[in-house]
């Protein structure tokens, strides 16, 4: 036995006991004839005290320890002279009579402290050292606790975890697949799943009724900041349900997590149609921790000779309450923000009300009462600053959404310890893709249209709404799903709309369409982005710090150096050759 | 709401209630003016009764249903006239006043009954239908329950589930890797993990102390019967432990499972050295549900002029108690069995004692007292049949192991509802590979030698024993692991012994060896084959029936038709081309 207790366990009532501890040297302080060593493990930190007078041998040995040495000590627990109320073990210390160095350590390339001096690349290369730091350790502990609570909740409702295959078939729909060459079947490839979508639907056809899995998924996409080529989903599916059953069940899941993990009780989730989300927030995943809803001004701002507004398809504003004191410079800074190419607004108009009355950047085009009408519609009261964008509808909404989020951040309205979940409903079934000149499934090709909209499938596909729903938390989509098509004919029609030939549909999804011929039940489901959910519950928006061994923005694992070239022999066995390999 | 109750829920106390059920039509029986329909879901079967006299419309509709139709009914629960005590819902039936067909079904290609008429290929192609059958459904439910119990047990001991990456680096050690070409890095490849071995060791270096994961692993090996290219492991690692800690912890896990899942209490697991296992059973995973231990006869059977024995390196026997009545034909059949090429014994000698006294196949070479001495050593009492093999040591032991298992099966001694777990310990660290002419790690290169044997590493590597252990259940290895090397120098020496150049070791495992420089704790772990464990607890030895969507013996998923060719465009994006593709 290497230890009798962990380094987080000893309290005053252990006083006088002989204990054995093992762990890492966190800190060494020499105070004259006493050397204090803090020893750390996953469970906490305990102070060891070595006294020169009573035990010169161990005192000398302790003075030769370095940071991150792995040690084992046996000694007596005693009450500390000066207690540390910030440490659970702060009432006691251990006076060791034996000290054994289990392993030495070189000086780590960065400090193993809550705030470290290591850069991103270095910390990823030495991830095993970075993971020793409390923030990362706590993130992974949180991830574990959330995973277990997800399992507990779903188990209590009769869901069962069923493992689906990782070596599946490549489908051209959706994002790019990672593929795996087959050695046994030359020229053939498996694909890694982007999600277990078709398998979970087949499990419903098979009668499993309630399925879940916390499962790795893969997408070979160009990596944006904070995207990972492999990510984890909480994947769920239910049979014999309507949309309302799914909303209740999974709203319950997130409510359970907020309660168990954060100690927060939230009421029923608000619901918003996709159309309203776009109208009020310019975005299908609004952050409703703060207001600043869009106010459309077309009817009262256009037609008075101000060209910027008159020529715009849409004039729309947000009211930044209490920001009337913004200086010229501050407003110019906002102007610059919205003009950035990735946002692309042409400019920014404003209006404010303060002790000097109502003032705007377009005073000269309007009478005071016309200005007052705008102010009234946007509820510009004393101290408020109205920020107005004008331009083509879709682009302007998107830009104002960005500005709203920017202002929310600036004004401290996006509080990481506040949780405002929301359902967004009634998504369009299809979206038109200019590039390919055809309809794409907004969710995926298995999403069912709303029954009352089915008659529009031929005449006006773009206006058909789907039985689809997203769960949004603090401005992030954390989950999304739909009620599926379970009728072969409707599924076939859907593939036709999406431009699949019958042959192609059969080749790619024949097994699913065949399955629908043998008694498919009504079913639907949802998938949560587990990495994102954990990060949000951890009060962050970057997922990388919540994954044990993440890849960098180029999809590279800097610690193990992957991907990397493989042997020529391996390539031959797999019946492939490389083209212009990078060396 | 599609239903108020499941098909397994209604009892006599629901009598008189109006209920709504949904499920699949299992069976239709027409008895004059009544039609009975059994409706099935995951939870059970409920009988519906349609009466021609009182509800002609629904009666007619019911008569048009087919097997596996998906229906929804609303009706009143009533007590049955003739109860079915074999069915939990057998006291009641539902008399529907509405019947809705949710989906029709073609006639399934095989019967959805406990005993089906479908062949293997057909059942794999229509796996979603095969999974509707009780045996498979129950297997997956069992798998789920075992997984949850594993999590509950490990959670209670402070283990945490940490996800490790699937896109890692290819290593030439061990089995063949599946690889994944990188699109972003031309000519570079990820590999899919054969196990999270190095990552779990890094998690110990990172201080996570107790790790587990129920995780998919991949091996691109030539598929023997009942091997899958992707399989699931319960992967565990602990820091600050010695072998005894691991044995206690994971013996506890399997004891917990046997108790919770099978209701069986087992005592402390027996322990056997590898050497004893080979000596007494000719095998490192003996089935100890039955005796029939090997009896070595060299000292009393050799040297009397019987060439077969005299020229053999080893003469060794098993005593098949009660088989003295075996006929000539039966013994010939055993002879044929051991002569099969995959077993390869030259022949089979025998000795038996019955009412006519002692008789053997080699009587003429021995005096009665010499024969009696053999009989005495092998404890051949009245009614026993001794089966003897002779030949080169290793091959003969292996052949006798096969014969022992064959006899155990024949005599009904391998009872599927009996569980005899066992630890096999003290494995050799290394084994000599004739083909490559070098030492191979018997476990893996990170396994530590026993401290008392380290001095033999240079002089006699083959005799060094490892801190390695296998858990064996009913003749199957269900888990294996070791105490790891945590010293950089020893790890380096190990790689040298295994014929790695320093450069190669650095290239492949540099990150692990570097990690060992920064305070690696003593650690060790174990991995269980989850598929096998579940199959054994389910009373079977074939894993395929315990996996939702398995592949066939050619690594092919017959349902989705994977692997399959991919588009030329996809290949180009991945910077690879295929060589002699199969069409």
CATH of the domain at A215: 3.30.930.10
Q: Which residues of A touch B560 (CB under 8 A)?
A: 168-169, 198, 511
| Residue A73, token pair as written in the block | 């000590």
Q: What is the pLDDT of residues A157-170, one digit of tens each?
A: 999 999 999 999 98
The shortest C-alpha distance from B558 to chain A (Å) reads: 10
H or E element in which residue B300 lies: helix B298-301
Q: B59 and B27, same structural domain?
A: yes
Which residues are B272's β-sheet partners? B424
Per-10-residue mean pLDDT, chain B, length 583: 96 98 97 97 98 96 97 98 95 98 96 91 96 97 98 98 97 86 96 96 98 97 85 98 97 98 96 98 97 97 95 97 96 96 93 96 96 97 97 96 97 94 97 88 92 93 96 96 93 90 86 94 98 95 94 94 93 94 84
For residue B306, give the nearest of B246, B254, B264, B351 by alpha carbon: B351
For residue B537, give the nearest of B73, B59, B115, B142 by alpha carbon: B142
Which residues are B70's β-sheet partners? B24, B103
Cβ pairs A/B, distance under 8 A = 373
**For tokens 């650690």, what's the residue?**
B523
| Residue A403, token pair as written in the block | 């500005």
Which alpha helices (DSSP H) does B486-529 contain, by range? 488-497, 502-515
Instruction: With respect to residue A561, please indicate whether it lies within any of the assigned structural domains.
Output: no
| CATH number of the domain where residue A312 is located | 3.30.1360.30
pLDDT at site B502: 86
H or E element in which residue A44 lies: strand A44-51
Instruction: With respect to residue B285, please indicate whether it lies within any of the assigned structural domains.
Output: no
Across B396-448, where does the E strand assignment appear?
Answer: 421-425, 430-433, 438-441
Angstrom CA distances, B59 to A183, B34, B53, B560, stand at: 57, 8, 9, 39
Q: Which residues of B touch A118 (CB under 8 A)?
A: none
Rounded CA separation B249/B483 (Å): 14
Instruction: With respect to residue A502, please indicate whether it lies within any of the assigned structural domains.
Output: yes
For residue B204, give the nearest of A497, A30, A129 by alpha carbon: A129
| Contact residues, A window 226-245, toward B, CB-based 8 Å cutoff | 229-230, 232, 240-242, 245
| Contact residues, A window 200-219, toward B, CB-based 8 Å cutoff | 202-203, 205-210, 216, 218
Q: A483 and A402, same structural domain?
A: no
Q: What is the pLDDT of residues A138-189, one digit of tens each?
A: 999 999 999 999 999 999 999 999 999 999 998 876 789 999 999 999 999 9
Which residues are B354's β-sheet partners? B357
Residue A444 has pLDDT above 90, yes or no: no
Q: What is the ipTM of this complex?
A: 0.95
Rounded CA separation A211/B548 (Å): 12
| Residue A31, token pair as written in the block | 């105070």
Residue A389 has pLDDT above 90, yes or no: yes
Residues ≥6 apart with Cβ < 8 Å to A181: A188, A189, A574, A575, A576, B179, B181, B576, B578
Sign of CA dihedral B399, B404, B407, B409: negative
Percent composition of chain B: helix, strand, coil (DSSP 3-state, to 5): 30, 25, 40
Q: Which residues of B touch A182 (CB under 8 A)?
A: 555, 563
pLDDT at site A227: 87
Residue A223 has pLDDT above 80, yes or no: no
Q: B359 and B429, same structural domain?
A: no
Q: What is the pLDDT of residues A85-129, one digit of tens each?
A: 999 999 999 999 999 999 999 999 999 999 998 899 999 999 999
- Where does the pLDDT of residue A505 fall: very low under 50, low under 70, confident under 90, or very high at 90 and above? confident
Q: What is the pLDDT of residues A260-313, one digit of tens each?
A: 999 999 999 999 999 999 999 999 999 999 999 999 999 999 999 999 999 999
Instruction: With respect to residue B121, please indicate whether it lies within any of the assigned structural domains.
Output: no
pLDDT at site A174: 74
The residue range of the domain holding B191 is 137-272+421-547
Rounded CA separation B193/B199 (Å): 10
Q: A304 and A256, same structural domain?
A: no
Q: B262 and B315, same structural domain?
A: no
User: Closest-CA residue in chain A for B187?
Assistant: A581
Q: A141 and A252, same structural domain?
A: yes
Q: A437 and A361, same structural domain?
A: no
Would you call A149 helix, strand, or coil by DSSP?
helix
Instruction: With respect to residue B277, please indicate whether it lies within any of the assigned structural domains.
Output: no
| Residue B111, token pair as written in the block | 């019967």
- Where does the pLDDT of residue A422 fall: very low under 50, low under 70, confident under 90, or very high at 90 and above? very high
Query: Is A162 part of the contact surface with chain B (CB cutoff 8 Å)?
Result: yes
User: Closest-CA residue in chain A for B531?
Assistant: A163
- Count of structural domains, chain B: 3
Instruction: With respect to residue B149, please indicate whether it lies within any of the assigned structural domains.
Output: yes
Query: Is A190 part of the contact surface with chain B (CB cutoff 8 Å)?
Result: yes
Q: With contact defined as beta carbons under 8 Å apart, do A268 and A251 qualify?
A: yes
Rounded CA separation A199/A515 (Å): 11
Residues ≥6 apart with Cβ < 8 Å to B174: B194, B444
Q: B213 and B172, same structural domain?
A: yes
Q: B387 and B295, same structural domain?
A: yes
| CATH number of the domain where residue B72 is located | 2.40.50.140
For residue B257, give the nearest of B151, B165, B330, B163 by alpha carbon: B151
Q: A159 and A250, same structural domain?
A: yes
- Where does the pLDDT of residue A500 fall: very low under 50, low under 70, confident under 90, or very high at 90 and above? confident
Instruction: With respect to residue B574, please indicate whether it lies within any of the assigned structural domains.
Output: no
H or E element in which residue B58 lies: helix B56-63
∠ CA A523-A525-A530, rounded to 5°: 165
Which of A410, A429, A444 is the endpoint of a domain? A410
Residue A414 has pLDDT above 80, yes or no: yes
The shortest C-alpha distance from B243 to chain A (Å) reads: 10
Would you call B184 helix, strand, or coil by DSSP?
coil
| Residue B415, token pair as written in the block | 């009872």
- Cβ-count burial of B442 within 10 angstroms (0-12 exposed, 13-18 middle, 19+ buried)? middle
Rounded CA separation B482/B237 (Å): 10
Dihedral (C-alpha) B69, B71, B76, B79: value to the nearest 10 degrees? 30
Query: Is B565 part of the contact surface with chain A (CB cutoff 8 Å)?
Result: yes
Query: Is B21 part of the contact surface with chain A (CB cutoff 8 Å)?
Result: no
For chain A, percent of residues with pLDDT exceeding 70: 100
For residue B511, give the nearest of A564, A231, A119 by alpha carbon: A564
Instruction: With respect to residue A145, please indicate whether it lies within any of the assigned structural domains.
Output: yes
Q: What is the mean pLDDT of chain A?
A: 95
**Residues of the binding site of A for L-aspartate:** 173, 219, 443, 484
Query: Is B566 part of the contact surface with chain A (CB cutoff 8 Å)?
Result: yes
Rounded CA separation A8/B252 (Å): 25
pLDDT at site B65: 97
Q: B402 and B507, same structural domain?
A: no
Sign of CA dihedral B244, B245, B248, B249: negative
User: Closest-CA residue in chain A for B565?
Assistant: A188
Q: B308 and B264, same structural domain?
A: no
Q: Phi/psi at B403 (nearest 5 deg)?
A: -65, -40
Taking CB atoms within 8 Å and a gap of at least 24, the contacts of A300-305 are: A300/A370, A300/A373, A300/A374, A300/A377, A301/A374, A301/A388, A304/A365, A304/A366, A304/A370, A305/A365
> Do residue A185 and residue B2 have CB atoms under 8 angstroms apart?
no
**Residues of the binding site of B for L-aspartate:** 173, 219, 443, 484
Residues ≥6 apart with Cβ < 8 Å to A105: A24, A25, A66, A67, A68, A69, A70, B517, B518, B519
pLDDT at site B505: 86
């Amino acid at each position: 036995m290497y230890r009798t207790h962990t380094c987080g366990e000893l309290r005053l009532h252990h006083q006088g006991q002989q204990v054995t501890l093992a762990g890492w040297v966190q800190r060494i302080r020499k105070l004259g004839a006493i050397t204090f060593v803090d020893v750390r493990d996953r469970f906490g930190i305990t102070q060891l005290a070595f006294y020169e007078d009573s035990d010169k041998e161990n005192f000398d040995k302790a003075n030769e320890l370095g940071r991150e040495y792995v040690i084992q000590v046996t000694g007596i627990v005693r009450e500390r002279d000066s207690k540390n109320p910030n440490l659970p073990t702060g009432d006691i210390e251990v006076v060791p009579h034996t000290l054994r160095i289990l392993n030495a350590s070189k000086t780590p390339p960065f400090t193993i402290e809550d705030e470290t001096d290591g850069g991103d690349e270095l910390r990823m290369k030495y991830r095993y050292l970075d993971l020793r730091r409390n923030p990362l350790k706590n993130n992974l502990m949180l991830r574990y606790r959330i995973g277990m609570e997800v399992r507990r909740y779903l188990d209590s409702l009769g869901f069962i975890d069923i493992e689906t295959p990782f070596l599946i078939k490549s489908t051209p729909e959706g994002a790019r697949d990672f593929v795996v060459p087959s050695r046994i079947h030359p020229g053939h490839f498996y694909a890694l799943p982007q999600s277990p979508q078709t398998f979970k639907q087949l499990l419903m056809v098979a009668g499993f009724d309630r399925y879940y899995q916390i499962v790795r998924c893969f997408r070979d996409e160009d990596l944006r900041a904070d995207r990972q080529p492999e990510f984890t989903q909480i994947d769920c599916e239910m049979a014999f349900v309507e949309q309302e059953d799914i909303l209740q069940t999974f709203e319950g899941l997130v409510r359970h997590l907020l309660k168990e993990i954060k100690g927060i009780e939230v009421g029923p989730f608000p619901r918003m149609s996709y159309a309203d989300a776009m109208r009020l927030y310019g975005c299908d995943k609004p952050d409703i921790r703060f207001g600043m809803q869009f106010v459309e001004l077309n009817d009262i701002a256009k037609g008075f000779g101000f060209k910027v507004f008159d020529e715009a398809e849409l004039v729309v504003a947000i009211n930044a309450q209490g920001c009337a004191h913004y200086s010229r410079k501050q407003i110019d800074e906002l102007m610059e923000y919205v003009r950035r190419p990735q946002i692309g607004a042409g400019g920014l108009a404003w209006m404010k009300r303060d002790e000097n009355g109502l003032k705007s950047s377009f005073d000269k085009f309007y009478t005071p009462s016309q200005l007052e009408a705008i102010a009234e519609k946007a509820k510009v009261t004393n101290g408020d600053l109205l920020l107005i964008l004008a331009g083509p509808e879709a682009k302007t909404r998107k830009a104002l959404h960005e500005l709203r989020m920017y202002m929310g951040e600036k004004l401290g309205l996006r509080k990481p310890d506040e949780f405002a979940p929301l359902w967004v409903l009634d998504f369009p079934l299809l979206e038109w893709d200019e590039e390919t000149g055809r309809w794409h499934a907004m969710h995926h090709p298995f999403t069912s249209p709303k029954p009352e909209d089915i008659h529009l499938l031929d005449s006006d596909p773009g206006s058909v709404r789907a039985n689809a729903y997203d769960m949004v938390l603090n401005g992030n989509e954390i989950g999304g799903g739909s009620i599926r098509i379970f009728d072969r004919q409707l599924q076939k029609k859907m593939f036709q709309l999406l431009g699949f030939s019958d042959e192609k549909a059969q080749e790619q999804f024949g097994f699913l369409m065949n399955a629908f011929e043998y008694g498919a039940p009504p079913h639907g489901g949802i998938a949560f982005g587990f990495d994102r959910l954990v990060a949000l519950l951890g009060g962050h928006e970057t997922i990388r710090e919540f994954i044990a061994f993440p890849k960098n923005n180029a999809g590279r694992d800097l610690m193990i150096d992957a991907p990397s070239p493989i042997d020529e022999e391996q390539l031959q066995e797999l019946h492939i050759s490389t083209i212009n390999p990078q060396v």
